[in-house]
Amino acid sequence: MKERIERLIQLLSGKADCALVTDDINRRYLTGMKSSAGFVLVFPEETYLIIDFRYIERARETVRHCTVIEQDVHVLKQLDELMKAHGAQTCALESMSLTLEQAAYFRKLKNVEFLTDNTLSQALYDLRTVKTPAEIEKIRAAQQLAEAALDSLLGHLHAGMTERETALALEYHMKRHGAEDLSFDTIALTGAHTSMPHGVPDDRVIQQGDFVLMDFGAVVDGYHSDMTRTVCVGTPTEEMRNIYHIVRTAQDAALAFARPGITGKALDAAARDIITDAGYGEAFGHSLGHGVGMEIHEYPIASASRDTLLAPGNVVTIEPGIYLPGKFGVRIEDFVCITENGCEDLTSLPNKLICV
């Protein structure tokens, strides 16, 4: 955590005298402590965590690299005094998460000039986008839980179950295996519903011969996993097999291509070209992937509009799909960590079609 703050200070050097971090996830990233409120005030010389009575005991026990101060009713005054003590004249705020109301509140401090462009938010995202081995371990642990949950579900997934029951079973198994939370609301769709990439599970019943598309993830120590598998209950038709094969081939191509130094756009194209060449370009209407970490969607993005280069330590999903309205859809999602010379697939379950 100390190194993260040191690197943030380097990124802000010459741009702002201090930074005020209030976003829950960024605050956790810098302090290691989960809370729903609090302020991290970063100066080059010292970092403060100002946090209220509900969290103060835990903060004093666990956050060793910051000076922990209990928040009182006059938090603006507390901030003002610290800024004066450190001689700060400019303070960076988080443009990507602060509300207009919060920004107006901080602006009541007249002795300091606030920087409200994306300097601070971008610096934090840039740091978070490159994961350390310790962060990768947490993501891997989250993925292991999700795969264990799928394994538990596949043992009893059958025709007659509803989408809601399927989603609930995955969620139950993830928590039972030790997930701190779910990465997002579990998607479990069946039959014609699978053509809606982010459909919401309802009371539709799985029929023999249906595809069941499941997109889900677990959280371990603040880090998310993300995977999608489309399985068949019973025997798929020739068309279902064919579409699955195209999506799988597209995913394999992107998995083989993912490495540092390529753009998100190039990675997207590696999969998209295969789907387009097979005649289904129009049926793949979303981008190939997104970053995963302390949030389920973060940087880098693998889409046709992204020129940012992938770098070692990036974690990105590879999730091509083909969606045929009124018929069915297939999405297969793995996520990888970019390494020095390629990538490591953090998803261990193979992507071949599973029939139960």
List of residues contacting Zn ion (CB under 5 A): 215, 226, 228, 317, 333
Q: Which is nearer to Zn ion, 71 or 317 (CB)?
A: 317
Q: Which is nearer to Zn ion, 5 or 332 (CB)?
A: 332
Minimum distance from residue 226 beta carbon to Zn ion (Å): 4
CB 2 within 8 A of CB 65: yes
CB 230 within 8 A of CB 244: yes
**Residues 26, 128: Cα–Cα separation, whole Å:** 9
Q: Which is nearer to Zn ion, 163 or 333 (CB)?
A: 333
Residue with tokens 């889900």: 216
Q: Which is nearer to Zn ion, 237 or 348 (CB)?
A: 348
Q: Which is nearer to Zn ion, 147 or 333 (CB)?
A: 333
Minimum distance from residue 315 beta carbon to Zn ion (Å): 11
CB 228 within 8 A of CB 214: yes
Residue 320 to residues 186, 196, 246, 269, 313: CA-CA distances in angstroms?
18, 14, 10, 11, 22
Minimum distance from residue 11 beta carbon to Zn ion (Å): 27
Q: Which of 137, 173, 141 is CA-nearest to residue 157?
A: 173
Minimum distance from residue 297 beta carbon to Zn ion (Å): 7
Minimum distance from residue 290 beta carbon to Zn ion (Å): 6
Minimum distance from residue 257 beta carbon to Zn ion (Å): 18
Q: Which is nearer to Zn ion, 22 or 287 (CB)?
A: 287
DSSP 129-190: HS--HHHHHHHHHHHHHHHHHHHHHHTT--TT-BHHHHHHHHHHHHHHTT-SEESSPPEEEE
